[in-house]
Amino acid sequence: MSSLGDDKKKLREEYRRRRDAFYSQLDAATRGLAFRRPPSPLARLIDQAEIIALYSAAGAEAPTSRLADYLAEIGKTIAYPLCVGDAPLEFRRIDNIDLLESGFRNISEPGPDCPVVDPDLIVAPMLAFDRSMHRLGQGGGHYDRSFARHPGAKRIGFAWSVQETDRVPTEEHDIRLDMIVTECEIIQRVEEMS
């Protein structure tokens, strides 16, 4: 494994521990309120999008279920990723959250009968992030390949504030986010704030 690969592996382990410890200390009420309604900068991006891809939060990941409720209330098309080997994620429309079933790594995914869609906005999970808008995922590269497949889609990362690091080691294929949302802050790319 390369030095960069070693660095990423160590960072994943450290920030997975940090995230899990932080999450375990949150009471149920706080967990329920976190990420409940999109902050204004994200709400503006949502208003401009028709199809929004979410992820099914697993374990201590920042939750998206409340955002899904909000998107359904305002009539947006909601999609979830289906992992198909090493290919980019397939984003499939979900009309009812009950259509999700256990899939890759026991993460809830849409079934194969759900239609494939092209999202305008993609909300992605991450293990760590930095202020340069780089994210560190689980290491499979699924989201980077998906971002490359959908270059016009806004890329939003959801994480807990304790997942911030000084610098995420990056490789040529790593694609920066447009916005990062934590339970207490919104971080945007400079060109997005003007």
Q: Read off the pLDDT band of 175 (50, 70, 90).
A: very high
The percentage of residues in the chain with a pLDDT greater than 70, rounded to a whole number, is 91
Half-sphere exposure of 22 (CA within 13 A, CB side): 19
Which CATH superfamily does the domain covering 3-193 fall into?
A: NagB/RpiA/CoA transferase-like (3.40.50.10420)
For residues 172-176, give the mean pLDDT.
Answer: 89
More confident residue, 172 or 19: 19
Model pLDDT for residues 110-122, shown as the tens digit of each residue:
888 889 999 999 9
Q: What is the DSSP secondary-structure string of 70-138?
A: HHHHTT-EEEEEE--TTSPPEEEE-SSGGGEEE-GGG-EEE-TTSPB---SEEEEE-SEE-TTS-EE-S
For residues 137-165, give the mean pLDDT.
Answer: 93
**Pair 13, 138: CB distance under 8 Å:** no
pLDDT at res. 83: 83
Task: Report whether pLDDT(136) > 80.
Answer: yes
Measured at the CA of 68, the angle between CA 62 and CA 72, to 5 degrees, comes to 170
Residue given tokens 């009812």 in the structure block? 96
- Could you tell me where the beta strands, DSSP code E, fall in 30-76? 51-53
Query: What global pTM score does this model have?
Result: 0.90
**Pair 40, 194: CB distance under 8 Å:** no
Task: Report whether pLDDT(155) > 90.
Answer: yes
Instruction: List the one residue out of 160, 166, 71 whose CA is nearest residue 120.
Output: 71
